[in-house]
Amino acid sequence: MSIKINNDLKSSNVTTEVVIKAQNLGVSFNSNFQKDDYKSHAIDFLKKKKTGKNKNVIWPLKNINFNGYKGEVLGIIGSNGAGKTTLCKIISGILEPNEGEIDIDGKVSALFSFGMGFNKELTGRENVYLNGMMLGIKKQTINSFIEDIHEFSGLNRFMDQPMKYYSSGMKARLGFSVAAYLEPEILILDEALNTGDSEFSEKASEKIKELVQKAKMVIVVTHSLAFAQRNCDRVIWMEKGTVREIGDPKVIIQKYKDTMPPKKPKKNIDLKETITEVKDKTVIKADNVNISYKLKKETFWALKNVSFDIKEGEIVGIIGHNGAGKSTLCRVLTGIIMPDDGSVDIEGETSALLGYGTGFNSQLSGADNIYLNGLLLGMSLEKVQANFNEIVEFSELGKRINQPVKQYSSGMRARLGFSIAATLKPDIFIIDEALSTGDMEFKQKATEKIQSMIESAKAVLIVSHSLNFIETVCTRALWFEKGSVVYDGDPKEAVKLYKKRVNENKAEGKRM
């Protein structure tokens, strides 16, 4: 017996053959975790924290039951911390359940976050082989796909350079390309379309359609309810580590939406154009900034002859494809990287959100990471303590703030990372992909918070692939290509020219 469904990624041949059978799955850990590195002891000393012996057992997953059928696209939805990624780690064999059983008929490949599992000292090509063989794929099979992976990723000469020189977007490209071409029997895609620039995202969408036709089944974890409704045959709605309901995407998604609090009047995700007074005072001045890397056969310019002034009151959007130099610029402005030539002068205290949770110590609790990150950003212990409750409240982590970050989902890290950065209220705020915060409800809060921060900061720099955000919120835009500024001016004009370039590249690619 088969069910005929024809809609985008939806399979046209969903059968009753069981590929995955989960029975009473549960995962637990003891909340009285043993901290095993010196930073945790330093934080305890600073906080004069009394460590008691708490033997409470936490269950991130409990009583999970479901079947996955051959030929289907199974969606998993739910808020950050609901247990979606933990369930996928069990299916893929990364985690062993503490109770219950799971039977899987087929080889599983999972893409949890682009670039996760790569060795930064190895080249992109070497990482393809490393990841493939870790998944049990023969070297001969990888040989037959390696050039396709290289071409699809668009990494060009960087394929044979160490990954420590890659931007986050370049890692995203390679991560997706590896997953797409190694053709697993059961494919898990965790937020699979967050690949960065629009040109590559479109390629990724088309490739997923091909994958669905070849794999036994595909599992898609997503916060995009429209994507889940359009592309999934069934949806699992997870809540607080349990399965709330499984069934028809349209029905389940509507029930999920009904549990969300109503949006407050005048506070919705629709962005309002920023009105700000731009003053004559210069708060950031970059003068002929250059950064280069000596690669195996050539010199690569991460930034080349970059010069600009930013005035007080400006909200500057930074756009460009993956690897164009955007994140490198942010690291220069925050002092993480020093330029080879040129200079950067900044007037005021700077804080940057370069990636949600990227600076967390996984062995520490969320609470300890608030202190650690605050102190590393130059905040006094008193200031961290004064803002601690506000950070925890905004993150909505509740009692989970005292659990180790290694037990957090990517969405929970996103919440905490944004909450720490947003509470600092610096003079100059740098935000790299600020709206990639996970579930709808928190994205709403994050957007509103960004708008309020813009009103109090001297200047805000926003790196984003959301062109609508750049057009609406920003007062000025810098478009980067190959490490250089190719346009500096009106955001709407910048987006128009950038889209034109993307379409030209797309047309050129089709002709080739």
Spell out the SS3 assignment of 497-509.
Answer: HHHHHHHHHHHHH
State the pLDDT at residue 42.
56
Contact yes or no for 14/69 (Cβ under 8 A): yes
pLDDT tens, residue by residue, 152-211: 888 888 888 888 777 767 887 888 888 778 777 888 877 655 555 667 777 777 787 777
Element (H, E) at 368: helix 366-376
pLDDT tens, residue by residue, 408-423: 776 788 788 888 877 7
pLDDT at position 117 over 90: no
pLDDT at position 270 over 60: no
State the pLDDT at residue 48.
54
pLDDT tens, residue by residue, 66-112: 999 998 889 999 987 788 888 988 998 888 899 999 999 987 877 66
> What distance in Å separates the CA atoms of residue 249 and residue 236, rounded to the nearest whole number?
8
More confident residue, 426 or 10: 426
Taking CB atoms within 8 Å and a gap of at least 24, the contacts of 136-144 are: 136/107, 137/182, 141/182, 142/182
Whole-structure pTM value: 0.59
Question: In terms of DSSP H, where are the helices of 236-354?
Answer: 249-258, 326-333
Identify which of 218, 101, 225, 112 has the alpha carbon closest to the alpha carbon of residue 171.
112
What is the percent of the chain with per-residue pLDDT over 70, rounded to a whole number? Answer: 77
Identify which of 190, 196, 90, 92 has the alpha carbon closest to the alpha carbon of residue 135.
92
| Domain 282-511, classified CATH 3.40.50.300, yes or no | yes
Tell me the sheet residues that pair with 29: 58
pLDDT, the chain, mean: 78
More confident residue, 451 or 372: 372
> What distance in Å separates the CA atoms of residue 89 and residue 189, rounded to the nearest whole number?
11
State the pLDDT at residue 249.
94
Least confident of 12-26, 134-148, 345-359: 345-359
Second-level CATH architecture of 2-21+68-258: 3-Layer(aba) Sandwich (3.40)
Least confident of 315-329, 392-406, 433-447: 433-447
Q: Which amino acid is at 311?
A: K
Cα-Cα end-to-end distance for the chain: 43
pLDDT at position 390 over 80: yes
Residue range(s) occupied by CATH 3.40.50.300 in the chain: 2-21+68-258, 282-511
pLDDT at position 297 over 90: no
pLDDT category at 54 given cuts 50, 70, 90 is: very low
Contact yes or no for 102/20 (Cβ under 8 A): yes
Q: Which residue has the tokens 């200047």?
A: 459
Contact yes or no for 86/62 (Cβ under 8 A): no
